[in-house]
């Protein structure tokens, strides 16, 4: 009897432990050396030289920590045109270019229909997390390739967790790839972080709680004043400069910015202040805690994009106190994020990379006032004149459909209906565009390979060209020229293939990364294969980059 009882007890124990083994996922170790967490940080509109322009007043825990502990590729460039947000985020995470990944702009013209497409537009899904209908009709479905975040998920049979965060929808969605557990972005109308039904039908409880804190309002009630006494901002123009755009309802573009008095304008205002960066990193820390990112041996990925520096840069330009203050504050916020990661994931257990989706040019008026050749190319006005010229020649109205991303799209429906010769139209348009002030080269994109332009321009045009989603004629402006409305307009912009727009930071730090720097040239497409190699996962399926071998231990 006693023996029988013992036998049954043993049998029970054995069965229990068998069941436990069957249901429990073995996560102690994969046997493959990998970091516990990868944190991708993209700073929207960050020029490479901002690492050094404001270096003196950065603390030791943010940008300086990355430069001192990590590995910096000092000459990293965008290798396609146009240099805009949607493409930059896609390229960093896919190692690919518009010709292959299909994201040819923030918006593009679908050449077959002439209709406009926003890069992350998806009418088949709905907003989750607010009642703003359009804000959540978003997904990565327009991206034709996998991202390194997808490849990490595939490599671990979806056991790795991928979370993507940015106040801009495209800054979160494209880095997250097709298989992210979640992408969250900011809805300026409600002040909530939201997502779409592509990812889930309900926000996780922790995010609902995060939204309930109403942090945007709390930040804006603090007003925006400079972090240090304003007279110490010696790296920037005086506060009231003619190159700066004003906040609506204000008299001058100056400090203090009384955001507490602008609450009636809604919570979208937050993104045009450095508090937008702070809120994004608040959410990143909350995601690390609540999603337990980097808590076990299966590598997770947190893709963060900080969008506010782009809004501030567009409004005030690179030589403003507003931009300088935005970076000094971001530096502090980054230091806090790294501290948080040290505590939660452990120093040396995670890998970080820092880069940008594009950089930015100086305001043309500012350059002219300082005797530097620069100008604004009035794209809309030129499109009108081009159409008038084509109409007089071919007797048909509106032959050129759009002029954006520095490329002309033709109205293919009109051309077909009137049986016009596309080549004659292209030749006529090219001759006209060549004569415009500020234009350096005009290229028939389909024949870019044989164009009489420097090789590097050819490569950027071909890399940026997807026949179904790109225009047919490319203009290349003279350096320091950009598309806009008037020569004395305020603020700044990006989009060209010049170094001002395309020289970006590329710094790696943490697990598996050497300390140092290189002056060798690299491309934006080299980040994804570097991280993929580090993680010992397959590179994304549209990758054309090569790993930064000298950065890896």
310 versus 325: smaller Cβ distance to Zn ion: 310
Q: Residue with CB nearest Zn ion?
A: 310
215 versus 480: smaller Cβ distance to Zn ion: 480
The distance of closest approach from Cβ of residue 309 to Zn ion in the complex, given in angstroms and rounded to an integer, is 9
The distance of closest approach from Cβ of residue 470 to Zn ion in the complex, given in angstroms and rounded to an integer, is 19
300 versus 310: smaller Cβ distance to Zn ion: 310
**Do the bridges between strand 407-410 and strand 375-378 make them parallel or antiparallel, or are there none, so unpaired?**
unpaired
310 versus 526: smaller Cβ distance to Zn ion: 310
Phi first, then psi: give them for residue 149, nearest 5 degrees.
-70, -40
CA–CA gap between residue 368 and residue 374 (Å, rounded): 6
Half-sphere exposure of 225 (CA within 13 A, CB side): 9
Yes or no: say if 451 and 465 are a contact pair by the CB < 8 Å rule. no
The distance of closest approach from Cβ of residue 310 to Zn ion in the complex, given in angstroms and rounded to an integer, is 4
Catalytic-role residue among 9, 15, 85, 326: 85
The distance of closest approach from Cβ of residue 221 to Zn ion in the complex, given in angstroms and rounded to an integer, is 27
With contacts defined by CB under 5 A, name the span among 139-147, 228-236, 310-318, 502-510 that binds Zn ion: 310-318
With contacts defined by CB under 5 A, name the span among 1-9, 155-163, 302-310, 472-480 that binds Zn ion: 302-310
With contacts defined by CB under 5 A, name the span among 2-10, 265-273, 307-315, 331-339 that binds Zn ion: 307-315
- Site size toward Zn ion (CB under 5 A) is 1
**Do the bridges between strand 506-510 and strand 503-504 make them parallel or antiparallel, or are there none, so unpaired?**
unpaired
The distance of closest approach from Cβ of residue 457 to Zn ion in the complex, given in angstroms and rounded to an integer, is 22
Sign of CA dihedral 8, 10, 11, 12: positive
244 versus 310: smaller Cβ distance to Zn ion: 310
Residues 501-520 that bind Zn ion (CB under 5 A): none
The distance of closest approach from Cβ of residue 171 to Zn ion in the complex, given in angstroms and rounded to an integer, is 11
CA–CA gap between residue 455 and residue 311 (Å, rounded): 33
The distance of closest approach from Cβ of residue 481 to Zn ion in the complex, given in angstroms and rounded to an integer, is 17
85 noted as active-site residue: yes
* Angle, vertex CA 497, rays to CA 494 and CA 498, nearest 5: 85
Q: List b or e across 249-288, with b for residues whose CB sees 16 or more CB atoms inside 10 angstroms.
A: eeeebbbebebeebeeeebbbbbbbbbbbbbbbbbbbbbb
Cβ within 8 Å of residue 136, ≥6 positions away: 125, 126, 127, 128, 129, 130, 187, 194, 195, 196, 197
88 versus 129: smaller Cβ distance to Zn ion: 88
The distance of closest approach from Cβ of residue 491 to Zn ion in the complex, given in angstroms and rounded to an integer, is 10
Peptide bond into 329 cis (omega under 30): no
Yes or no: say if 506 and 525 are a contact pair by the CB < 8 Å rule. no
Kindly state the helix (H) or strand (E) to which residue 534 belongs, with its residue range: helix 527-535
Which tokens in the block code for residue 81?
């045109």
Q: Which H, E and C letters describe 60-73, residue by residue?
A: CCCHHHHHHHCEEE
The distance of closest approach from Cβ of residue 352 to Zn ion in the complex, given in angstroms and rounded to an integer, is 23
The distance of closest approach from Cβ of residue 45 to Zn ion in the complex, given in angstroms and rounded to an integer, is 5
Q: Using CB atoms within 10 Å of the CB of residue 329, give its burial: 0 to 12 exposed, 13 to 18 middle, 19+ buried.
A: buried
CA–CA gap between residue 483 and residue 81 (Å, rounded): 14
With contacts defined by CB under 5 A, name the span among 98-106, 168-176, 303-311, 348-356 that binds Zn ion: 303-311
70 versus 495: smaller Cβ distance to Zn ion: 495
CA–CA gap between residue 239 and residue 226 (Å, rounded): 11
62 versus 491: smaller Cβ distance to Zn ion: 491
CA–CA gap between residue 187 and residue 135 (Å, rounded): 6
Yes or no: say if 247 and 257 are a contact pair by the CB < 8 Å rule. yes
Q: Which residue has the tokens 């948080």?
A: 340
150 versus 357: smaller Cβ distance to Zn ion: 357
72 versus 315: smaller Cβ distance to Zn ion: 315
With contacts defined by CB under 5 A, name the span among 47-55, 181-189, 306-314, 519-527 that binds Zn ion: 306-314
Yes or no: say if 402 and 409 are a contact pair by the CB < 8 Å rule. yes
DSSP state of 136: G
Interface with Zn ion (CB under 5 A), residue from 151, 300, 310, 324: 310
User: Looking at the annotation, which residues are catalytic?
Assistant: 85
Residues in touch with Zn ion (CB under 5 A): 310
């Amino acid at each position: 009897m006693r023996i029988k009882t013992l036998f049954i007890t043993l049998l029970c124990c054995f069965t229990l432990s068998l069941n436990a083994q069957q249901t429990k996922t073995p996560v102690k170790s994969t046997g493959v050396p990998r970091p516990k967490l990868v944190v991708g940080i993209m700073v929207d509109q960050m020029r490479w030289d901002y690492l050094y322009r404001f270096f003196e007043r950065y603390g030791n825990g943010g940008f300086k920590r990355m430069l001192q502990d990590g590995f910096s590729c000092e000459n990293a460039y965008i290798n396609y045109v146009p240099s805009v947000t949607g493409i930059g985020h896609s390229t960093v995470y896919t190692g690919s270019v518009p010709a292959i990944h299909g994201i040819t702009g923030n918006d593009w013209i679908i050449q077959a229909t002439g209709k406009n497409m926003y890069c992350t537009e998806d009418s088949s899904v709905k907003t989750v997390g607010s009642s703003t209908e359009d804000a959540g009709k978003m997904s990565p479905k327009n991206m034709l390739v996998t991202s390194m975040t997808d490849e990490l998920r595939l490599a671990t049979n979806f056991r790795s967790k991928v979370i993507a965060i940015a106040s801009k929808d495209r800054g979160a969605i494209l880095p997250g790839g097709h298989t992210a557990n979640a992408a969250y972005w900011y809805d300026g109308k409600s002040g909530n972080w939201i997502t779409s039904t592509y990812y889930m039908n309900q926000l996780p409880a922790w995010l609902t709680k995060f939204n309930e804190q109403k942090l945007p309002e709390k930040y804006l009630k603090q007003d925006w004043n400079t972090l240090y006494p304003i007279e110490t901002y010696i790296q920037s123009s005086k506060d009231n400069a003619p190159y700066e755009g004003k906040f609506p309802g204000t008299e001058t573009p100056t400090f203090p910015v009384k955001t507490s008095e602008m609450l009636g304008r809604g919570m979208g205002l937050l993104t045009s202040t450095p508090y937008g960066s702070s809120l994004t990193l608040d959410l990143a820390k909350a995601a690390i805690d609540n999603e337990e990112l980097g808590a076990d041996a299966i590598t997770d990925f947190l893709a963060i994009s900080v969008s506010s520096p782009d809004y501030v840069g567009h409004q005030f330009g690179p030589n403003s106190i507003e931009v300088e203050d935005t970076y000094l504050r971001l530096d502090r916020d980054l230091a806090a994020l790294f501290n948080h990661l040290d505590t939660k994931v452990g120093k040396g257990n995670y890998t970080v990379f820092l880069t940008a989706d594009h950089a930015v040019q100086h305001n043309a008026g500012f350059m002219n006032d300082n005797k530097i050749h620069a100008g604004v190319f009035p794209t809309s006005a030129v499109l009108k004149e081009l159409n008038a010229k084509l109409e007089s020649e071919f007797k048909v109205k509106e032959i050129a459909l759009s002029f954006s991303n520095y490329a002309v799209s033709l109205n293919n429906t009109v051309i077909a209906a009137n049986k016009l010769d596309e080549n004659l139209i292209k030749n006529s348009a090219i001759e006209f565009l060549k004569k415009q002030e500020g234009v350096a080269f005009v290229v028939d994109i389909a024949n870019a390979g044989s164009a009489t332009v420097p090789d590097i321009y050819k490569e950027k045009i071909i890399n940026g060209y997807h026949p179904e989603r790109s225009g047919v004629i490319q203009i290349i402006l003279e350096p320091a020229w950009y598309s806009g409305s008037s020569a004395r307009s305020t603020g700044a912009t990006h989009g060209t293939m010049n170094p001002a727009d395309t020289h970006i930071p590329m710094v790696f730090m943490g697990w598996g990364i050497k300390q140092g720097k290189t002056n060798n040239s690299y491309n934006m497409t080299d980040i994804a294969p570097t991280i993929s190699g580090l993680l010992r996962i397959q590179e994304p399926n549209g990758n054309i980059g090569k790993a930064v071998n000298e950065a890896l231990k």
